[in-house]
A and B are shown apart, each in its own frame.
Chain A
């Protein structure tokens, strides 16, 4: 698969002008890569007497190991727990799309499902190396069905099981062959769980505790049997109590095997865990924190209803809840009010639509990393390690993944100072005997970057109601400055005042800012030659420098813009419209960059 480090003739790449995460620090060093592995440049210099074949300037950015997501239930409309005919293409789709989030390896997660689903799906998702086609699959994460009834969360009650009868044989009967399985989440208070945990650990499968009402003692015993992970800490377990901390107490337990580090997943999307709780966990045991997304199929899609396992969920913003019954079109009169008090509220056909049971997250991994950094105030290195090194350590892969040490796989992300992903690199297989690797050594995904010259301008489409307006808004990217000089063809009589826009825009744009969107309202249109106080624009920042121009939103809907530009919500910067500026809060042309 990946070439040996000493592969003669393989191209040597040197990434310069960057900071790399190595040894827990961000060092001002170059990253050397050959044959899909990180190369030791000193050996290359003194023993092989070679220099790099290609140098890439990273523009001062951060190079971090690629993120590893050990809990992701699907995304972009794909549900890993659905037994479709072609599971492989669904996994491939997700693998490709999460590259833009900086994830280079992941563990597809299956929620509680009937055995038929496992028997059908598990063999279809083999372990696979990453490459230009998508992130690598490290193995499956089977979350359930051997979990607690009370803490099942969004998992369907009907399919929960226990292994009291035959312990490990029960488990095998449910899942089928375990070749592709990497992590299993179970509740340790279930009968005979220790036998099962020991059997799984003996097979090299990581056992995780979650969806459980175990107390601290039971959890510690489970760790002694071989458990090493806690699935989404705080969620679906007993809350921390000062006389019985429950599973949460494992973070600071002194009754664990010597030298064993207990890892715990945290969903840092701002919803599943209060930032204060995040900080408590991080401060108690920072080396064990693993950032996971627990993403559901709605990841990457818009608001609305989607399927997760055997249930339906409703997405609203960055949160997802278990969907209740659809509302009766006749209104509440025909629906009897639910007489049973639900504590905590859960899906009930009699309640009004929607519940408060969280159902997985739709925050992408890079959003989680940024939120984690901001919520805990930890160092950038800690945040990046929580998403890369710690999951690798959990799975015992820290020699090859989650690190930029010499000899490790060359899976890394290029980030700007605000930890937005600029490019993702995964090395692919080198064809044996071929001097030049067959795979294209470019990033498998790159954020749209706007250099200072020229600037990309995208005009949203919209239909103007004004009769003297020919609706000639075109959705296209045009390159400045040529296009701004004069008007657009296509029959439009519109023209932008280059005096107000052309030269100024160039001053505003910086190498890290993204795209400038220019729109203008019909009110100013008189052949476009009049000064336009309503000239509007928005700048979508991809990095540290963000510019905000006044935005007039009457004609262009934000959602429309977002859709046509296909960027994520958290990347867009909006400013109040002209005329309603507040002192000190606006950045008008020439007033400097945000």
Chain B
């Protein structure tokens, strides 16, 4: 488990973005190996604050992703079980989860919409989170799946403390990722307020090593030339 501590929200976001970028390029997506996105939601699609709107305005409209490759769970589907089954089928067909990105709620539950966790009822999130984690545990192949959890803000500090300094606990479901070998927690200074100084210093000291995940920053165009030249194994987590 790696804890990446950056100073501000914007820097944490940038680090996370670079990490995702590197992971995507390393994944080497192509027509046969496509890059997809899967997310659950609770609000109706049309709602201006629904996850669909959020993802469209903040992500999809800025990139050239094909709508076919995005899969957003419909939390308002008539048959939720069938919806989840279909979602699982899609994950299986895509070859399992390569990278999982999420955040946590102030109560430690895994939330899938970082600023919107307040928009979805707590009960629903809890249900969804537990079911999702338990049901999809088989997709989280320890060696292959990478997990990145984003935690920013002072209101998440206690949850972060519970997540990494305490044991694995069903009340703080994100702590389950302590047992996952490829987890990265990205947070800003405010979120570390409840951690021991020892912990913070330890992980800050490791930043030099952890920054190799984002530096060098890969580029699709240069990847072609790099492939033939470099034989060095890139730093992996």
| B60 CB → nearest A CB, Å | 6
A46 with B68, Cβ < 8 A, contacts A30-B61, A41-B61 known: no
Contact (Cβ within 8 A) A51 B61:
no
Given contact pairs A30-B61, A41-B61, A46-B45, A51 touches B66 in the complex (Cβ within 8 A):
yes
Residues B67 and A49 in contact, CB atoms below 8 Å apart = yes
Q: How far is the CA of A49 from the CA of B52 in the complex (A)?
A: 13
Tell me if A46 and B56 are in contact (CB < 8 A).
Answer: yes
User: Complex: how many Å from CA A49 to CA B60?
Assistant: 12
Chain A residues near B72 (CB-CB < 8 A)? 46
A51 touches B67 (CB 8 A): yes
Query: Could you list 7 further interchain pairs (A-B, Cβ under 8 angstroms) beyond the known A42-B52, A45-B70, A46-B45?
Result: A30-B61, A41-B56, A42-B53, A42-B57, A46-B56, A46-B72, A51-B66
User: Could you tell me which residues of chain B, from 58 to 73, have a CB within 8 Å of some CB in chain A?
Assistant: 60-61, 64, 66-68, 70, 72
Interface string of B17-41 (1 = CB under 8 A from A): 0000000000000000000000000
Given contacts A42-B52, A42-B53, contact A50 B67 (CB under 8 A): yes
Contact status of A46 and B66, CB under 8 A, knowing A30-B61, A41-B61: no
Scan residues 28-61 of chain A and give those whose CB is less than 8 A from a CB of chain B: 30, 41-42, 45-46, 48-51
Instruction: Point out which of A42, A49, A50, A51 has the most chain B C-beta atoms below 10 A from its C-beta.
Output: A42
Q: Contact: B61 with A46, CB < 8 Å?
A: no
Interface of B is mostly: helix
Q: Whole-angstrom distance from the CB of A34 to the nearest CB of chain B?
A: 15
Residue of A nearest to B45 (CB): A46
The answer to whether B60 touches A45 (Cβ under 8 A) is: yes
Partner of B68 from A30, A41, A49 at Cβ < 8 Å: A49
Q: Majority SS of interface residues in chain A?
A: helix
CB distance from B184 to the nearest CB of A (A): 29
Interface bits A6-45 vs B (CB < 8 Å: 1, else 0): 0000000000000000000000001000000000011001
Chain A nearest Cβ from B96, distance in angstroms = 23
Question: Considering only CB atoms, which chain A residue lies closest to B52 in the complex?
Answer: A46
Residues of B within 8 A of A45 (CB): 56, 60-61, 67, 70
Number of A-B contacts (CB under 8 A): 25
Contacts of B61 in A (CB 8 A): 30, 41-42, 45
Question: What's the minimum C-beta distance from B134 to chain A, rounded to whole angstroms?
Answer: 28
Expressed in whole angstroms, the Cα–Cα distance for A30 and B52 within the complex equals 18
Nearest A residue to B68 via CB reads A49
Residues of B within 8 A of A49 (CB): 67-68
- Measured in the bound complex, the distance between the Cα atoms of B52 and A48 in whole Å is 14
Number of A interface residues in the complex (CB < 8 A): 9
Docked complex Cα distance between A45 and B61 (Å): 9
In the complex, the 7 A-B pairs of residues with the closest C-beta atoms, listed nearest first: A49-B67, A42-B56, A45-B67, A46-B52, A49-B68, A51-B66, A45-B60
Q: Could you tell me the distance in whole angstroms from the C-beta of B54 to the nearest C-beta in chain A? A: 11
Q: Chain A residues with Cβ under 8 A from B56's Cβ? A: 41-42, 45-46
When distances are taken between beta carbons in the complex, the residues of chain B under 8 Å from A50 are 67
Closest to A49 in B: B67
Report the minimal beta-carbon distance from A50 to chain B, rounded to whole angstroms: 7
Task: Name A's B-contacting residues (CB within 8 A).
Answer: 30, 41-42, 45-46, 48-51
* A42 nearest in chain B by CB position: B56
B64 neighbours in A (Cβ, 8 Å): 51
**A41 surroundings in chain B (CB, below 8 A):** 56, 61
Query: Which chain B residues border A48 with CB–CB below 8 Å?
Result: 67
Instruction: Give CA–CA (A106, B7) in the complex, Å.
Output: 56
Residues in A with CB closer than 8 Å to B67 are 45-46, 48-51
Shortest CB–CB separation between residue B86 and chain A, in angstroms? 15
What chain B residues lie within 8 Å of A46 (beta carbons)?
45, 52, 56, 67, 72
- Report the Cα distance A10→B84, complex, angstroms: 34
Task: Provide the B156-194 mask, 1 if CB < 8 A to any CB of A, else 0.
Answer: 000000000000000000000000000000000000000
Q: Which residues of A contact B66 (CB under 8 A)?
A: 51
- Quote the shortest CB–CB distance from A282 to chain B (angstroms): 33
CB distance from B182 to the nearest CB of A (A): 31
A116 to B64, CA, bound (A): 61
Set of chain A residues within 8 Å of B68, measured between Cβ atoms: 49
Can you list 8 A-B pairs, Cβ within 8 angstroms, ordered by A?
A42-B53, A42-B56, A45-B60, A45-B61, A45-B67, A45-B70, A46-B56, A48-B67
What separation, in Å, do the CA atoms of A550 and B14 have in the docked complex?
50
Residues on the A chain within 8 Å of B53, using CB: 42
**Cβ distance A323 to chain B, nearest Cβ, rounded Å:** 57
A120 to chain B: closest CB distance in Å? 52
Which residues of chain B are near A30, meaning CB under 8 Å? Answer: 61
B52 / chain A contacts, CB cutoff of 8 Å: 42, 46
State the Cβ distance, A53 to closest chain B Cβ, in Å: 13
Q: Which residues of A contact B70 (CB under 8 A)?
A: 45
Cα A45 to Cα B72 in complex, Å, equals 12
A42 vs B57: C-alpha distance when bound (angstroms): 8
The distance in angstroms between the C-alpha atoms of A426 and B72, with both chains bound, is 36
Max chain B C-beta neighbours (<10 A), residue from A30, A46, A48:
A46
Bound complex: CA of A332 vs CA of B202, how far in Å? 101
Complex Cα distance, B51 from A46, in Å, reads 12
Give the distance to chain A from B14, nearest Cβ to Cβ, in Å. Answer: 19
User: Min CB distance, B149 to chain A, in Å?
Assistant: 26
Question: How far apart are A125's CB and chain B's nearest CB, in angstroms?
Answer: 42
Q: For the complex, give the distance between the alpha carbons of A50 and B67 in Å.
A: 6
Give complex CA distance A46, B47 in Å: 13
- The CA-CA distance from A45 to B67 in the complex, in Å, is 6
Alpha-carbon distance between A124 and B56 when the two chains are bound, in angstroms: 49
Q: How far is the CA of A45 from the CA of B69 in the complex (A)?
A: 11
Which of A30, A45, A50 counts the most B-chain CB atoms under 10 A from its CB?
Answer: A45
Least distance between B76 CB and chain A CB atoms (Å): 13
Per-position contact with A for B66-91: 1 when CB-CB < 8 Å, else 0?
Answer: 11101010000000000000000000
A51 to B63, CA, bound (A): 11
How many whole Å from A429's CB to the nearest CB in chain B? 29
Q: Closest residue to A52 on the B side, CB-wise?
A: B64
Q: Which residue of B lies closest to A44 (CB)?
A: B67
Minimum distance in angstroms from B176 CB to a CB of chain A: 31
A45 and B63 CA atoms in complex are apart in Å by 12
| Cα A45 to Cα B65 with chains together (Å) | 10
**How many angstroms from the CA of A51 to the CA of B45 in the assembled complex?**
19
CA distance A48 to B61 in the complex (A): 15
User: Which B residue sits closest to A41, measured CB to CB?
Assistant: B61
- Which residues of chain B are within 8 angstroms of A51 by Cβ–Cβ distance? 64, 66-67
With both chains docked as a complex, state the minimum distance between the C-beta of A32 and any C-beta of chain B, in angstroms: 10
Closest to A51 in B: B66
